[in-house]
Amino acid sequence: MSETQKQSETPKPGDTQKQGAAQKPLAGLKVVELGTLIAGPFCTRIMAEFGAEVIKVESPDGGDPLRKWRKLYEGTSLWWYVQARNKKSVTANLKHSEGVAFVRKLIAEADILVENFRPGVLEKLGLSWESLHADNPGLVMVRLSGFGQSGPYKDQPGFGAVGESMGGLRYITGFADRPPVRTGISIGDSIAALWGAIGALMALRHREINGGAGQVVDVALYEAVFAMMESMVPEFDVFGFVRERTGNIMPGITPSNTHTTRDGKHVTIGANGDAIFKRFMQAIGRPDLADDPTLADNAGRDARRDEIYALIDGWCAEHDEAEVLAVLAKAEVPSSRVYSAVDMFADPQFIARQMFQSATLPDGKPFRMPGIVPTLSATPGGTEWIGPALGAHTDEVLAALGYAAERIAELRAAGAV
């Protein structure tokens, strides 16, 4: 952005809308999203929340399938309103040459392109990295796919569930006497999205500070999950140790588990620090275990973990959730109820941290959506608008690229947008 552009966008006193936008750390970045469902759109959602102009390209024939996923209100997914907040929606028919030309022109003016097609799809459309880079040498292209842009599996389809399975997460999730289970959300897609956003910002840093050109950020879903697998690789390589499913406990880190209270609630207790364990045992009336030298460190406690967990299970089963949490809070033992949405909406910590934002659905109905993470002290993110109607910004974006009203009408009549 030129100095002239920066000066022209300087907010005037009292212009709160422009001031809010200018204070966001990614203001001035233009991002084009060629993605559907979770990984690509979540990556760009983060950028949009922090001020980037995100232009989401959708098919005129229904748009992103996420618009119809999970709970619908008046025909549109509530998830969509969150996932696409602050984004502009344009339609382009990528099976039409004029639709592809529009998208290529749009990308030529962008800082970042995020796409999560299967490898080879963009190349068949004439939107290869080589051609886009020739148009726009500073472009950063984030490519999210199941297996990455190279290797023998690159052409296979891969969703988050596949990435979680191949990356190692599913193998260790669940109980030893039962098959592997999934987490309650598509965590593999979300992890990949985060790596994509991090990679894009690192590539921009290189371009802007080190004088580098644009580059490709290649994120494979299975690798995004694999990168989170803690000490799995060196433990297997050095000791031949294969981590297995262990339910809610952490082998070698004792006690850390979830227990059921007398009133049928679930409480997670992490008392694996040496001093914390002593306080915990004192608080539940077992000073003998608090002072037992064989339980003074994790190794000793883990050797007797069945005994310790049985003791904690028994104590929790004799008390209601509120009493369990009160005793542990007084003893400064890390603990928490296992929260449902009901608990979150009533919790003072969620409220104090503004983790619920109020917004309005198109028919005027108020609703709440998740707050912005992370919290930046000087340049916080925010919600300017909820996920837009399909193609709501098509004319605006085409006009900004120099298309006349008559030409836009012709493209629409031809089915290109």
Residue pLDDT, tens place only, 109-160: 999 999 999 999 999 999 999 999 999 999 999 999 999 999 999 999 999 9
Q: Where are the beta strands (DSSP E) in 204-281?
A: 216-220, 256-260, 266-270
Q: Does 27 score more than 60 pLDDT?
A: yes
Token reading at 321: 């959730």
Q: Does 240 score more than 50 pLDDT?
A: yes
Model confidence pLDDT, tens digit, residues 282-325:
999 999 999 999 999 999 999 999 999 999 999 999 999 999 99
Choice among 64, 111, 189, 302 that is catalytic: 189
Paired sense of beta strands 112-115 and 30-34, if any: parallel
Q: From CA 112, how far away is CA 33, in angstroms rounded?
A: 8
This prediction's pTM: 0.90
Looking at residue 20, what is its pLDDT?
44
CATH 3.40.1000.10 fits 256-337, yes or no: no
CATH number of 3-228+363-414: 3.40.50.10540
Model confidence pLDDT, tens digit, residues 259-271:
999 999 999 999 9
Q: Across the chain, what does the average pLDDT equal?
A: 93
Give SS3 for 356. Answer: strand
Give SS3 for 359. Answer: strand
Q: Using alpha carbons, select from 127, 117, 140, 120 the residue that is nearest to residue 199.
A: 140
Residues 6+ positions from 328 with CB-CB distance below 8 Å? 267, 269, 280, 283, 334, 335
Q: From CA 12, how far away is CA 294, in angstroms rounded?
A: 68
Q: Per-residue pLDDT averaged across 329-350, rounded?
A: 97
Token reading at 352: 């104090």
Domain boundaries, the chain: 3-228+363-414, 256-337
Determine whether 189 is an active site residue. Answer: yes
CA distances from 1 to 49, 164, 257 (A): 20, 40, 52
Q: From CA 358, how far away is CA 329, in angstroms rounded?
A: 31
Question: In angstroms, what is the C-alpha Rg of the chain?
Answer: 26
Q: Which of residues 252 and 290 earns the better pLDDT score?
A: 290
Model confidence pLDDT, tens digit, residues 179-213:
999 999 999 999 999 999 999 999 999 999 988 89
> What are residue 359's DSSP bridge partners?
367
C-beta pairs of 401-408 under 8 Å, 24+ apart in sequence: 401/102, 401/105, 401/106, 401/109, 403/102
Are 246 and 171 in contact by the 8 Å Cβ rule? The answer is: no
Q: Does 19 score more than 60 pLDDT?
A: no
